[in-house]
Amino acid sequence: MNKINSSDDYRTDKFSNYIEEFKIPFTLDLDRGGKLNDVVIAYETYGSLNEDKTNAILICHAITGDSHVAKHNEKDLPGWWDAMVGPGKPIDTTKYFVVCSNILGSCRGTTGPNSINKETGKFYGAEFPVITIKDMVKVQNYLIEYLGIDKLLGVIGGSLGGFQCLEWATEYPEKIKGCLPIASSARLTTQGLAFDVVARNSIISDPNFNFGNYYKKSKKPDVGLALARMLGHITYLSRESMNEKFEIDRNSPRELSTSFEKKFSVGSYLAYQGEKFVERFDANSYITLSTALDLFDLGSTKDILTENLSKSLCDWLLISFSSDWLYPAFQSIDIVEALISNSKKVSYCNVHSNSGHDAFLLNEDIEHYGQIAESFFKNLIHLDNGEIKKAKVCDSKVNIGLNNRIDFQYISNLIPNSSSILDLGCENGDLIEQLSSIDISSALGVEINESNVISCIDKGINVIHSDLDSRLEKFYDSQFDVAILSQTLQSIKNVEKILKEMTRVAKSSIISFPNFAFKPMRDMFYNEGKAPKISGWYGYNWYDTPNVRFPSINDFLEFCEEKNIKIKKSLYLDTIKNKKITDNPNLNADSAIFLIS
Amino acid sequence: MNKINSSDDYRTDKFSNYIEEFKIPFTLDLDRGGKLNDVVIAYETYGSLNEDKTNAILICHAITGDSHVAKHNEKDLPGWWDAMVGPGKPIDTTKYFVVCSNILGSCRGTTGPNSINKETGKFYGAEFPVITIKDMVKVQNYLIEYLGIDKLLGVIGGSLGGFQCLEWATEYPEKIKGCLPIASSARLTTQGLAFDVVARNSIISDPNFNFGNYYKKSKKPDVGLALARMLGHITYLSRESMNEKFEIDRNSPRELSTSFEKKFSVGSYLAYQGEKFVERFDANSYITLSTALDLFDLGSTKDILTENLSKSLCDWLLISFSSDWLYPAFQSIDIVEALISNSKKVSYCNVHSNSGHDAFLLNEDIEHYGQIAESFFKNLIHLDNGEIKKAKVCDSKVNIGLNNRIDFQYISNLIPNSSSILDLGCENGDLIEQLSSIDISSALGVEINESNVISCIDKGINVIHSDLDSRLEKFYDSQFDVAILSQTLQSIKNVEKILKEMTRVAKSSIISFPNFAFKPMRDMFYNEGKAPKISGWYGYNWYDTPNVRFPSINDFLEFCEEKNIKIKKSLYLDTIKNKKITDNPNLNADSAIFLIS
């Protein structure tokens, strides 16, 4: 049954043959007051719900999207996320039961301003009430109940879809296991808001808008809606991607029959996009949805955001894109910080892309970030229902031969039972994996390298994609039991700040570093007058070593005394001979581990 | 005489009582074909032209500006750049003769679409021809000739005003001594172009636009023009400054009588700005000027830009603002690079600001960057007319006591006569100042610290505000005779790349650095097992030293051999005792200087 082509006489394109409908059998009370009767939800499903109903993923679409997230078969019309959803795709429809519904207020099947108000027998038009993201998600929740799903494996969505994910996590915390907002935020920036205001102004100022009552008129507010779409398009692309697209033929617009300007190639592109858009979208819906988007506000300060996210019970993954200036990375980081403050399980990756906000929809970017989403759901489905994820129990005979990481074992021994762990510069998660064999309550890594972050997420390790400096200062005092800085001290420029922050955010800290004053180093420098270089952490040339600090054990001891840092335990190692050093460690140890507070 | 209030019946506000007029006594042939008769230029002047007519500065305004750059006295109406221009201001009207004219095509006094076409007796309206920046500057040139000025001390302007500066430098190279484009570029980004397209589309789609013929109608395209202005406003501000302005009362719009949306505080601001703008600006002028802006194109590639700028003869200063995303810093850098390729005298500063593109107009930003413009003109007026600036001749007994910079003297000795110099990490220009006492043909510094850059510009030293890595790779092969890296090697992470690039861009290079293997350092490390620390370059703690590399003389010699770098001369110094070291320098010298190629 396809409502689009039956009960709705407003012009639409045929975008799916697989739409199903569910009619909410009672009056919907709305967030901002007002009611809606006879709300119809248009939705599509992919794959099969498993017997214990634990494999359902809800996909939330963005402002102009619809239920047709992917084609149902080779003959079907293209979906808007075909690269992400389908058999063998990151959201594999042979494994997961995928649901995507058109959002409330849209014009693509679900009740919206272009629906007939049965009470009046007329189009809602301007009478359509103000709705919020809360209302959209409420409607989705009714659908999920109707489909017999008690708990979703996850919700995922980009942009406005991300807002819906956040709403699910906070309004129906017990009903989702995982939450994956992509290119999203807790609220729009003022800049984003301003673009929306201008877009809506261009619609309401169109003389054919007629205060929203135009459905029966021959002229519709197409010019205003097209202008809004043009503006939107600019904000969805990055400066780089716009240059790539339109620099070559800047002054050669495409041939196009339009009343809009077509002086420049980007001009003809915008005119085309604007005019194409009005064929498939309704101006009233655009106003309704963009207003809902602008009203979404999970908190303007970290405290409010933290309070609002405290209700969530799910695992989290947040993805942002480096060139997205409409939903810039720092906004995803704000959410991540609030979740960490609540001790929620969260990972975050700022995916490198030149595509701007649009990246979440583009095949080339999905090729890159799709695997992260895939890993997230893969690890989620293996978790026990409703439980906070436990560290994996590993074979106690862990292989510690890798790069002579004998220090990992000693670090493990320093960690009290049931500790929460922060691993700074966690690389691909090897240390955290090793720690899974002991009793810890949680572990979070911080890592700057994107591939390492992706590896961690694949292993089910919670990791934050960030540099250490900016990350540490955002944690609360004593937020962790143990912070670890393993063989990273020597590559940190601002040593004092990092150590100060570590001792602030964790009850105790473990620092391991290679001892620069190890005897062979001293000998080499003294006798040859050259930058010392031995195999291991100091096995680099002076001119291209990743190390920028060269601490000796005595330097570190002196530093701690000076800065009033208390050393609770110290361990000195010869990692080559795999033994502890007690005799003159500053001369005889190649590596040191300190437990400080 | 004030044309605004006499001959022009199009609505205008009274913005100046000091406008003078000059009528071009012949037909103006336009850049893109077409002609204009009876062109009137509205302009204002400040201060007095000196006897030898060498103190005239032309100020070029941006798209919606006018001739009233500053108030003429305390009782006068405010000007748009009062913080920059006036007695005692950075452009001091007690020293300089300042000229500012309304640009061709505008609606603020100079001939534009809202002028009467004397041939038809009607408003030009849509009949006004397409004009370019070239036409605007041509008109300005007639005015300057009319005022009896053979050569301007300088032209300065922000945004579209910067385009005019660039046009002056390339079309009338012999007529300006200095050029100061602020927050400008060689052409708009595609993103900037796209915003302009949407702005023009909103005007031409306004039913009251009537193809540009609306002057005699009761309704004018105010809605379209207001929308264009709203959009412009967003692009003039930065995301940060928008948040600062509108975050506190996000949902509390100002009381305002408007047909535009006023749901959010930023919405009421934009509505107010849009509606205020239509009272003082003409829609046809907006289209005419923004089209001229979009057509300006000094080159899409470095080669074309370099070719176009090769004609220029003036000294250059370019200023960008760190948060300006409409004319981003990299676009100013593109111009700087093209000028350097042409061996032009150029300085560049990327001024830190949160204000976005608007920074060039804002008092708080002018307080910061005004001094740079002031220094530029101060140094310009002391130059001989028409000559390329020569290095200053200093007292040959230069004080080299500062920080024991005995090495400066030795570096000077290594430089062949008439060399062009590149000083990497030039700090506040001390070395280049010292080099002024010897015979060099030119000197250019590269410096990352903004205050240092400002100091250099104040001293009349050409300096580029940049890090070394990204700067070096943009220079041509053998672009300089001598590149100098003075006591900076130890703070550079990618030593190999920097040295490789130096030897590429300069015929020979001078590297000076502190010798890490100096005897007291070795002794300290060997005996105490602690990071060595002595007074001077290695006088820092291991944990907060700016140094990240610790080369010894032998390390450097080995490196050069390995990388096939030829050492032509070497000098080893004890800078404390102020003497050369020949005996075992790797042990006995605290500093080394190499001439390599």
Residue from the list B191, B250, B558 with its beta carbon closest to the beta carbon of A242? B191
Q: What residues of B act catalytically?
A: 159, 324, 357
Residues B488, B491, B494, B498: what is their CA dihedral angle, to the nearest 10 degrees? Answer: -10
Residue from the list B246, B548, B550 with its beta carbon closest to the beta carbon of A493? B548
User: Using CA atoms, how far apart are residues A376 and B251, in angstroms rounded to an integer?
Assistant: 36
DSSP notation for A285-302: HHHHHHHHHHH-BS-SSH
Which pLDDT score, from 0 to 100, does residue B401 have? Answer: 35
Residues B567, B569, B570, B576: what is their CA dihedral angle, to the nearest 10 degrees? Answer: -150
Which pLDDT score, from 0 to 100, does residue B7 have? Answer: 35
Say yes or no for a CB contact (<8 Å) between B555 and A542: yes
Q: Give mean pLDDT, residues A72-79.
A: 95
Question: Quick one: which of A406, A553, A425, A420 has its CA closest to A486?
Answer: A425
Q: Is the pLDDT of residue A357 over 60?
A: yes
State how far the alpha carbon of A388 is from the alpha carbons of A192, A349, A441, A442, in Å: 35, 21, 10, 10
User: Using CA atoms, how far apart are residues A259 and B581, in angstroms rounded to an integer?
Assistant: 80
Which pLDDT score, from 0 to 100, does residue A576 have? Answer: 84
Q: Is the pLDDT of residue A1 over 80?
A: no
Q: pLDDT tens across B229-268, in order?
A: 999 999 999 999 999 999 888 999 988 889 999 899 999 9
Q: pLDDT tens across A140-162, in order?
A: 999 999 999 999 999 999 999 99
Say yes or no for a CB contact (<8 Å) between A200 and B542: no
User: Using CA atoms, how far apart are residues A83 and A367, in angstroms rounded to an integer?
Assistant: 8
Task: Count the Cβ atoms, other than its own, within 10 Å of residue B417.
Answer: 9
Residue from the list B205, B294, B531 with its beta carbon closest to the beta carbon of A550? B531
Q: Which residues of A touch B194 (CB under 8 A)?
A: 230, 233-234, 242, 266-267, 270
Which pLDDT score, from 0 to 100, does residue A538 have? Answer: 82
User: Using CA atoms, how far apart are residues A531 and A516, in angstroms rounded to an integer?
Assistant: 11
User: In this structure, which long-range contacts are made by residues A146-149, counting pairs with CB atoms below 8 Å and at least 24 apart in sequence?
Assistant: A146/A22, A147/A45, A147/A49, A147/A56, A147/A99, A148/A49, A148/A53, A149/A49, A149/A53, A149/A56
Q: Give mean pLDDT, residues A532-537.
A: 82
Handedness of CA A184, A189, A195, A200 (dihedral sign): positive
Question: Quick one: which of B125, B117, B13 has its CA closest to B66?
Answer: B13
Which pLDDT score, from 0 to 100, does residue A402 have? Answer: 40
Under 8 Å CB pairs connecting chains A and B tally to: 215
Q: Is the pLDDT of residue B399 over 70?
A: no
Q: Is the pLDDT of residue B312 over 70?
A: yes
Say yes or no for a CB contact (<8 Å) between A198 and B558: no
Q: Which residues of A touch B552 (CB under 8 A)?
A: 529-531
Q: Is the pLDDT of residue B8 over 60?
A: no
**A142-168: b (≥16 Cβ within 10 Å) or e:** bbbeebebebbbbbbbbbbbbbbbbbb
Three-class DSSP category at B333: helix
Q: Which residues of A touch B517 (CB under 8 A)?
A: 525, 529-530
Distance from CA of B100 to the nearest CA of A (A): 31
Three-class DSSP category at A224: helix
Question: Quick one: which of A575, A534, A566, A557 has its CA closest to A409?
Answer: A575
Q: Give mean pLDDT, residues B394-419.
A: 66
State how far the alpha carbon of B200 is from the alpha carbons of B221, B225, B268, B269, B287, in Å: 11, 8, 22, 21, 6
Residue from the list A531, A558, A559 with its beta carbon closest to the beta carbon of B555? A531
Say yes or no for a CB contact (<8 Å) between B201 and A260: yes
Which pLDDT score, from 0 to 100, does residue A577 have? Answer: 86
Q: pLDDT tens across A281-296, in order?
A: 999 999 999 999 999 9
Radius of gyration of chain B (CA): 28
Residue B134 CA neighbour count, 13 Å, CB half:
15
Which pLDDT score, from 0 to 100, does residue A13 have? Answer: 62
User: Which pair of structure tokens corresponds to residue B550?
Assistant: 């610790």
Which pLDDT score, from 0 to 100, does residue B9 have? Answer: 42
Q: Which residues of A touch B493 (CB under 8 A)?
A: 548
Q: Say which residue the tokens 């291209």 belong to.
A: A544
Q: Which of the two residues, B547 and A98, has the higher pLDDT score?
A: A98
Q: Which amino acid is at B445?
A: G
Say yes or no for a CB contact (<8 Å) between B266 and A190: yes
- Superfamily of domain B157-187+297-385, CATH level 4: Alpha/Beta hydrolase fold, catalytic domain (3.40.50.1820)
**A498-533: b (≥16 Cβ within 10 Å) or e:** bbebbbbbbbbbbbbbbbbbbbebbeebbeebbbbb
Q: Which of the two residues, A264 and A395, has the higher pLDDT score?
A: A264
Which pLDDT score, from 0 to 100, does residue A471 have? Answer: 85
Q: What pTM did the predictor assign?
A: 0.93
The reply to whether domains A1-150 and A155-187+296-389 share a CATH topology is: yes
Q: Is the pLDDT of residue A401 over 60?
A: no
Q: Say which residue the tokens 């999905």 belong to.
A: A366
> Are the CB atoms for A290 and A200 separated by under 8 Å?
yes
Q: Give mean pLDDT, residues A462-474.
A: 90
Residue from the list B227, B237, B263 with its beta carbon closest to the beta carbon of A202? B227
User: Using CA atoms, how far apart are residues A249 and A228, in angstroms rounded to an integer?
Assistant: 25
Say yes or no for a CB contact (<8 Å) between A522 and B517: no
Q: Give mean pLDDT, residues A517-538.
A: 89
| % chain A with pLDDT above 70 | 94
Q: Is the pLDDT of residue B50 over 60?
A: yes
* Nearest-Cα residue of chain B relative to residue A327: B239
Which pLDDT score, from 0 to 100, does residue B387 have? Answer: 35
The pairing of strands A480-486 and B116-117 is unpaired
Residue from the list B197, B493, B550 with its beta carbon closest to the beta carbon of A267? B197
> Are the CB atoms for A101 and A155 separated by under 8 Å?
no
Residue from the list B195, B266, B529 with its beta carbon closest to the beta carbon of A197? B266
Q: Give mean pLDDT, residues A104-114.
A: 97
Q: Which amino acid is at A394?
A: C
Q: Where are the domains of chain A?
A: 1-150, 155-187+296-389, 197-292, 402-596
Q: pLDDT tens across A213-239, in order?
A: 999 999 999 999 999 999 999 999 999
Helix H or strand E segment including B78? none
Residues A402, A407, A408, A412: what is their CA dihedral angle, to the nearest 10 degrees? Answer: 160
Three-class DSSP category at A529: coil
CATH no. for B1-150: 3.40.50.1820
The mean pLDDT value of chain B amounts to 92
Say yes or no for a CB contact (<8 Å) between B552 and A529: yes
Residue B68 CA neighbour count, 13 Å, CB half:
20
User: Using CA atoms, how far apart are residues A468 and A475, in angstroms rounded to an integer?
Assistant: 11
* Nearest-Cα residue of chain A relative to residue B548: A548
Q: Which of the two residues, B172 and A403, has the higher pLDDT score?
A: B172
Say yes or no for a CB contact (<8 Å) between B555 and A587: no
The pairing of strands B591-596 and B506-514 is antiparallel
CATH 1.10.1740.110 applies to domain A197-292: yes
Q: Is the pLDDT of residue A43 over 60?
A: yes
Say yes or no for a CB contact (<8 Å) between B525 and A528: no
Place B407 in a pLDDT band, splitting at 50, 70 and 90: confident
The mean pLDDT value of chain A amounts to 92
Helices (H), A342-428: 363-381, 406-413
| % chain B with pLDDT above 70 | 94
Strand partners, B155: B58, B179
Q: Is the pLDDT of residue B391 over 90?
A: no
User: Which pair of structure tokens corresponds to residue B239?
Assistant: 């995301």
Q: Is the pLDDT of residue A173 over 90?
A: yes
Q: Which residues of B touch A586 (CB under 8 A)?
A: 529
* Nearest-Cα residue of chain B relative to residue A243: B190
Q: What are phi and psi of B23, to 5 degrees?
A: -105, 120
> Are the CB atoms for B64 and B161 separated by under 8 Å?
no
- Superfamily of domain A155-187+296-389, CATH level 4: Alpha/Beta hydrolase fold, catalytic domain (3.40.50.1820)
Q: Domain A402-596 belongs to what architecture?
A: 3-Layer(aba) Sandwich (3.40)
Lowest mean pLDDT among A256-265, B53-62, B278-287, B397-406: B397-406
Q: Is the pLDDT of residue A396 over 70?
A: no
Q: Give mean pLDDT, residues A28-51.
A: 97
Say yes or no for a CB contact (<8 Å) between B234 and A194: yes
User: Using CA atoms, how far apart are residues B271 and B261, in angstroms rounded to an integer?
Assistant: 7
Q: Which residues of A touch B275 (CB under 8 A)?
A: none
| Region at B109 (left for phi over 0; alpha for psi -120 to 50; beta for the rest) | left
Distance from CA of A26 to the nearest CA of B (A): 31
User: Using CA atoms, how far apart are residues A163 and A175, in angstroms rounded to an integer?
Assistant: 16
User: In this structure, which long-range contacts are made by residues B570-579, counting pairs with CB atoms below 8 Å and at least 24 apart in sequence?
Assistant: B570/B594, B570/B595, B571/B410, B571/B414, B572/B515, B573/B406, B573/B407, B573/B410, B575/B404, B575/B406, B575/B407, B575/B536, B576/B404, B576/B536, B578/B404, B578/B406
Active-site entry in A115, A159, A466, A552: A159
Say yes or no for a CB contact (<8 Å) between B531 and A552: yes
Handedness of CA B327, B328, B334, B336 (dihedral sign): positive
Which pLDDT score, from 0 to 100, does residue B493 have? Answer: 87
* Nearest-Cα residue of chain B relative to residue A325: B239
Which pLDDT score, from 0 to 100, does residue A399 have? Answer: 34
Q: Say which residue the tokens 């300005």 belong to.
A: B140
Active-site entry in A222, A324, A358, A407: A324
CATH 1.10.1740.110 applies to domain B202-292: yes
Q: Is the pLDDT of residue A391 over 80?
A: no
Mutation target to probe the A interface, by most A beta carbons within 10 A, among B191, B301, B491 is B191
Say yes or no for a CB contact (<8 Å) between B207 and A207: yes
